[in-house]
Every structure is written in C-alpha cells, then in structure tokens.
Amino acid sequence: MEQTWRWFGPGDRVTLRDAKEAGAEGIVTALHEVPAGEAWPVELIRKRKAEIEAAGLRWSVVESLDVTERIKMRAPGWQRDTENFKTSLLNLAACGIRTVAYNWMPLFSWTRTHLHAPVPGGGFTLRFDALAFAAFDLYLLKRNGAEQEWGEAASQQAQAYFQAMTPHERDELLETILCGLPGGNGRYTLQGVRDLVEQYNGLDASSFREHAGEFLRSVCPVAEELGMRLGVHPDDPPRPLLGLPRIVSTAEDLDWLMAQSALTANGITFCTGALGVRADNDLAAMVHRFLPRIAFFHLRSTQRENTLVKAGSQPLESFFEAAHLEGDADLIGILLEVVKQEQCGECAKLPFRSDHGQELLNDCERAAAPGYPAVGRLRGLAELRGAIRMAERITAKVEHDEAI
C-alpha cells in the first residue's frame, strides 16, 4: 500500500517537510483556491505538482474535486459544472494525476459538533454528539419541520441539552457546524443553510440517487478513457442530517452506485471511520466485497457512544475519533485482507492515508486544520505502517507454509 498524507496547500501549517519526515510517499491535496464548479487550470495543477515533487513527494490523489450543490440537486447551472468537472479530469490526467476522490453529501460534507474534545488518555479529538446536533437543528437553525422529524422524545432531550448550555457553548456549537471543516464545502451562515435546505426541499433519496447515477454515467466514460479512477467518499456521519437524503452510507448504497457504471473508473474512497460509525456496516466484509472497486483508503477508527433515536426509529449515533488501532474499526483485520489481495495480484497497490488524528503533544500550539494535526497523524501513520508490515509477514508466511 502507498503511504500518503493530506496537505491543504501552501497555507497549511503542517508542511510538506512534515509529511516527508512522517514517512509519507505521496500527497493527497486539491486546488482549494479554485471555486467549486470551476475547471482546474493546467497551469495551477502543474505548479502545485512541482511544489510537491520539489519536496521529494508525489501528488498521488486529488481530494477533493468538488461536485457542486447545483449538480447534486440538478439546479440551474448543473450542466456547466459537470462539464467543468470533466475538464478538470482532462487537465489532471495531462499532468499524470489519475486518482480523484469526491463526495455526494448534500450541503455539509463531514460534520462534527466538537473540535477539541478531551481524550481519557490525554490529548484531544473530534466528536459528533447527536444530541448537540439535534439542539443545533431545533433551536439554533430552527429548521421547518425539524421537531416533527426528531419526534417528541428526542426533541425534549435536545431542549434540555440546549437549555443547559452556556451562551459560549452555544456560540461554539454554531461556529463548529457552520465553519466548514477542511476539504468540505466552505463556511456557511445560518440563513445560508436555511436557504440551501429549502432548495433541497422535495428531493428524496430516490431522486438524489437518480441524480448521482446520471452524473456517474456522464463522467465515468471520460475518466475511463483517461485511465483515471474516481472514488466516492461515504457519508460522514452515515445517516441523514437536516432532513436531507444521504445515499452513500451502507453496503447496499455502494452496490447501487457501483451498478450505475461498470467501468473501472467508477470507484470508492473507502473510509473506515465514516462507514464504521454504523454498527450494521461489517467493514471487513465490505472490503472483501468491494476491493476491486476501491480506489483509495481513508484509514481511521471511530468509537460509537450513545444513540439518539429520532421519530420513526431512525437512529443517529454519537461518536468520537479514536486512535487508529482502537475504536470500533478493526483496521488490522482490514489491512490483512488488503495485503493478502495485493500480494496475490488480485488488486493494485492502493494509496491510503492515516485519516484524521488526535491532537497530541504540541499539536495544539500549531493550530493545524481540525482533524489534521501533525503529531496525531504521524502516530496514526506509524501504527498503520507497523500493521501493514505485520500483515505482509503473516501473508508471506502463510503462502510459504502452503507451498511446502
């Protein structure tokens, strides 16, 4: 597996030198300065690639090439945005970059309610508290229909939670959800969120799937001809939020998306942390099943906490970002499966990154992007590197013993 590191460009406080010293071979990045929906110019791609190569690294994966809200909801301008997406693929391929991650989450991409939650063993981590999110939805956003959707029991719990919060805690929750986490769709205002939710009004999961299918059937032939692989990122968290559909949360969802185009270009960014939030997602079985379609791995682990049950018995789990080899995701078992398939030639050498990381040691002093501290990710990459070496040894020994 190829060890990679996410870097947010020249303004990132965690530098390319840090990535190199952490042991990364490749960089995962994007032209974050280009507005969503615009085509990426070849000149900017070449400039960013040259900067990465000057540090002794390679640009392995684009994360992310934005799929705009206009495309997702089929709003005016979506055809232009789709053509610009294809143009960006052409320009990236011309520069030798052939793995592209994207997401199909409406409005918010990945969402958290706390950016600096203490970890029992020391350090800080990201956390999603379902009750805090309900309080945001009901009493800060005040979304139309939210109380009916959450139901009486959950709404009462959220009300008690909200009333117990200090003004500072309410401001912090609002800022955390609206700030736009790294690699997401940008910063929002409360009114901006209300407006977008209203624009999505009436778009159910079935229609949202239709839009995704049409997008894939349009862009995948272009990517295939260019020798590229696209990887859809799972919903994070993998449940509907704000009454909006999410269609990349389960094995059944991935099955449906992969069926929209049988081309190799139609692939998955397999995020063990996002998918692992749901107890009904069997990660090992999903890796075994979808490995031929996986273009890129996000390796991290989340720890489920309590579950808030909404109206209609729709759960929403609370969770935090655990250390990479802890939590609910069995990353060692997953890595054994991937290494076994790599060594027997069933899949190519796949890029992975130690996704997210807890804030450890002097991480707090560097004020890196939330979820992307230097020391926490270095620890994660080192742990994963050790697990991969172990998996390689075990696989080689099994093959040797079977050959005798």
User: Residue 64: which of 24, 107, 104 has the closest Cα?
Assistant: 104
DSSP per residue over 60-74, as a string? Answer: EEEE-----HHHHHT
298 annotated active-site: yes
From the candidates 137, 220, 233, 235, give the one annotated as an active-site residue: 233
User: How far apart, in whole angstroms, are the C-alpha atoms of residue 269 and residue 234?
Assistant: 7
SS3 content of the chain, % helix, strand, coil (to 5): 45, 20, 35
129, two tokens: 């508290």
In this structure, the chain runs to a length of 404
CA–chain centroid gap for 335, Å, is: 19
356 annotated active-site: yes
CA dist 384 → 121, 331, 341 (Å):
20, 8, 17
347 annotated active-site: no
Encoded amino acid at 121, one letter: G
Return the H-helix or E-strand segment holding 374. helix 374-403
Please, are residues 257 and 216 in contact by the beta-carbon 8 Å criterion?
Answer: yes
Please, are residues 273 and 245 in contact by the beta-carbon 8 Å criterion?
Answer: no
233 annotated active-site: yes
114 annotated active-site: no
DSSP E strands in 110-163: the ranges are: 114-118, 124-128
Residue with tokens 């862009």: 219
User: Residue 104: which of 207, 222, 223 has the closest Cα?
Assistant: 207
116 annotated active-site: no
Please, are residues 155 and 138 in contact by the beta-carbon 8 Å criterion?
Answer: yes
From the candidates 66, 81, 236, 355, give the one annotated as an active-site residue: 355
From the candidates 129, 188, 236, 356, give the one annotated as an active-site residue: 356
From the candidates 220, 235, 298, 363, give the one annotated as an active-site residue: 298
265, two tokens: 């270009």
From the candidates 271, 324, 328, 363, give the one annotated as an active-site residue: 271
Angle of CA points 73, 270, 334, to nearest 5°: 160
Which residues are annotated as catalytic?
A: 233, 271, 298, 355-356, 372
